[in-house]
Homo-oligomer: A and B are copies of this chain.
């Protein structure tokens, strides 16, 4: 392990901050709770004596509250003693949401949710589960006897309920189950001002919806300790399929570069999304991602020579790969939805590939992050960025960002994208960028910062959101005022001051650097 920056203690000493709560100041535990999984975070682990002056920046200690009351004691103790609080769930933030350096001259205490991992209650009549916020995706699914939350982002295996809420997460089955905000009935937070309970109803008209203030709060308002979530009976029918839709369209008119990389597959996605028979999972790869997936033998690939031969034989390439899935408890409805999808895809000239490639995708759906580690070890830049935009702006935004990213990353870079989540009014696009020769962590960090800036500026200019489901963290914070306006920023600050007047909660996150 790299040498870890020396730890500081608060004036009162850790043992006195919240008596009875386990607080660990060992280097191993500190290092493990000091960063997330952004490209820069992963580089930091690889940087030896380099970018950070030889010492791995780390929080000063880690608290492990075992109850809401303990979490409250920790948060209020920190507010009292001027200790900065950095909540840590699964540690999977890819936007710099965990900042070991958040304290400046104040000590920093990471608050781990690891001990808050129990199902508290399952209301089988209302379909509401009350869970402690430290439960991971798999823990929740295992505990929900006969039910499912249906929330499967790529971080699912490690990320926690509290993290899903704090980051406004969206899972791969969002077409059927919605985003985390569609699932959240209520939440309890430990804040410097005390215990804060929000929501409790499927919907209500009692002023602003304060659940939606907690959703996306990224640890700046308190530690989310428990949540009431909508659950559904586990589906008895689950089907996945794939298709390739050739590029271009007779209706596209004067085909621009934008049009030829997605259409008519993007039209298929839009039509499927707007139907009452919309699929549970829907993902449309652009031409470059389709090519990569079909030629890679990676765990997340949909590879296989037989498959390729089949597609080529039908001259469906170059094309756009569509992954589509349906879940439910009524076989008739699932069959109707599948038949509808098949007919829309057929009308677009697509080639139906059946369930084999769809199942391959499902098996590999959480492998992306692990693949990334391997590629980074081999000196590759591997990074993702994502946004959301209305349908009428999607093709132009996609083409613009693809070109800007290629230019920013230089020769030998590979930029690919897919439509990852769809709505009646728009869709998110998820870009993956690969580039070789990024072995030196310091050089890589500098290059990536420059590229990120160029890409994000282009994204903002093209009208995209700063993020569809990764969040703001520190990495997107410089553009926040441009996107939500000065009044939006004032409102966020007003909310923060109301619950955290001494400013100890995750102070460097969701806030532009000074």
Q: Which of B168, B202, B207, B487 contacts A218 (CB 8 A)?
A: B207
List the B side residues contacting A497 at CB < 8 Å: 494
Interface mask (A479-504 → B, CB under 8 Å = 1, otherwise 0): 01001111110111111011100000
Asked if A333 is an interface residue, CB under 8 A from chain B, the answer is yes
Q: Which of B179, B393, B480, B488 contacts A203 (CB 8 A)?
A: B179
Q: Which of B197, B201, B215, B217 contacts A426 (CB 8 A)?
A: B201
Asked if A252 is an interface residue, CB under 8 A from chain B, the answer is no
The answer to whether A193 and B487 touch across the interface, beta carbons within 8 angstroms, is yes
- Among A196, A330, A470, find the residue whose CB has the most chain B CB atoms closer than 10 A: A196
The answer to whether B492 and A201 touch across the interface, beta carbons within 8 angstroms, is no
> With A191-B487, A230-B424 as given contacts, are A201 and B389 in contact (CB-CB < 8 Å)?
yes
For the complex, what is the distance from the CA of A168 to the CA of B210, rounded to whole Å? 13
Interface mask (A197-216 → B, CB under 8 Å = 1, otherwise 0): 11011111111111111111
Asked if A126 is an interface residue, CB under 8 A from chain B, the answer is yes
For the complex, what is the distance from the CA of A499 to the CA of B208, rounded to whole Å? 14
- Of A132-140, A274-282, A301-309, the one touching chain B: A274-282
For the complex, what is the distance from the CA of A392 to the CA of B392, rounded to whole Å? 43
List the B side residues contacting A330 at CB < 8 Å: 275-276
Asked if A170 is an interface residue, CB under 8 A from chain B, the answer is yes
For the complex, what is the distance from the CA of A36 to the CA of B397, rounded to whole Å? 45
Task: Please report which residues of chain A, range 326-382, place their CB below 8 angstroms from some CB of chain B when the two chains form the complex.
Answer: 328, 330, 333, 336-337
> With A202-B425, A215-B208 as given contacts, are A197 and B485 in contact (CB-CB < 8 Å)?
yes
Q: Which of B126, B472, B491, B499 contacts A490 (CB 8 A)?
A: B499
Asked if A29 is an interface residue, CB under 8 A from chain B, the answer is no
List the B side residues contacting A170 at CB < 8 Å: 203, 205
Asked if A123 is an interface residue, CB under 8 A from chain B, the answer is yes
List the B side residues contacting A498 at CB < 8 Å: 487, 490-491, 493-494
The answer to whether B201 and A465 touch across the interface, beta carbons within 8 angstroms, is yes
Report A452 CB to chain B, min CB distance, Å. 16
The answer to whether A205 and B471 touch across the interface, beta carbons within 8 angstroms, is yes
Report A74 CB to chain B, min CB distance, Å. 17
* Shortest Cβ distance from A393 into B: residue: B126
Interface mask (A377-396 → B, CB under 8 Å = 1, otherwise 0): 00000000000111111000
List the B side residues contacting A207 at CB < 8 Å: 216-218, 471-472, 480, 484, 492, 510
Task: Please report which residues of chain A, range 461-486, place their CB below 8 angstroms from some CB of chain B when the two chains form the complex.
Answer: 465-472, 476, 480, 483-486
Asked if A46 is an interface residue, CB under 8 A from chain B, the answer is no
For the complex, what is the distance from the CA of A389 to the CA of B201, rounded to whole Å? 6
List the B side residues contacting A486 at CB < 8 Å: 194
The answer to whether B125 and A488 touch across the interface, beta carbons within 8 angstroms, is no
The answer to whether B426 and A167 touch across the interface, beta carbons within 8 angstroms, is no
Asked if A232 is an interface residue, CB under 8 A from chain B, the answer is yes
**Copy number of this protein in the oligomer?**
2
Report A303 CB to chain B, min CB distance, Å. 31
List the B side residues contacting A64 at CB < 8 Å: none
Asked if A416 is an interface residue, CB under 8 A from chain B, the answer is no
List the B side residues contacting A193 at CB < 8 Å: 487, 490
Report A58 CB to chain B, min CB distance, Å. 26
Asked if A128 is an interface residue, CB under 8 A from chain B, the answer is yes
The answer to whether B127 and A465 touch across the interface, beta carbons within 8 angstroms, is no
The answer to whether A206 and B466 touch across the interface, beta carbons within 8 angstroms, is yes
For the complex, what is the distance from the CA of A510 to the CA of B510, rounded to whole Å? 28
For the complex, what is the distance from the CA of A196 to the CA of B484, rounded to whole Å? 9
- Among A197, A208, A213, A471, find the residue whose CB has the most chain B CB atoms closer than 10 A: A208
Q: Which of B202, B468, B484 contacts A423 (CB 8 A)?
A: B202
Asked if A157 is an interface residue, CB under 8 A from chain B, the answer is no
List the B side residues contacting A232 at CB < 8 Å: 274, 424
Asked if A181 is an interface residue, CB under 8 A from chain B, the answer is yes
- Among A205, A210, A426, find the residue whose CB has the most chain B CB atoms closer than 10 A: A205
List the B side residues contacting A274 at CB < 8 Å: 127, 232
* Shortest Cβ distance from A422 into B: residue: B202
The answer to whether A181 and B209 touch across the interface, beta carbons within 8 angstroms, is yes
> With A208-B215, A208-B495, A472-B207 as given contacts, are A390 and B488 in contact (CB-CB < 8 Å)?
no
Q: Which of B216, B423, B471 contacts A209 (CB 8 A)?
A: B216
Task: Please report which residues of chain A, range 294-329, place their CB below 8 angstroms from some CB of chain B when the two chains form the complex.
Answer: 328
Q: Which residues of A contact B (CB under 8 A)?
A: 123, 125-128, 167-170, 179, 181, 185, 191, 193-198, 200-218, 230, 232, 274-277, 328, 330, 333, 336-337, 388-393, 421, 423-427, 465-472, 476, 480, 483-488, 490-495, 497-499, 510
A-B contact pairs, 24 of them (CB 8 A): A123-B390, A126-B391, A126-B425, A127-B425, A197-B485, A198-B484, A200-B465, A201-B390, A201-B426, A202-B390, A203-B388, A204-B388, A206-B467, A206-B471, A207-B216, A207-B480, A209-B213, A232-B274, A276-B277, A487-B499, A490-B499, A491-B495, A491-B498, A494-B498
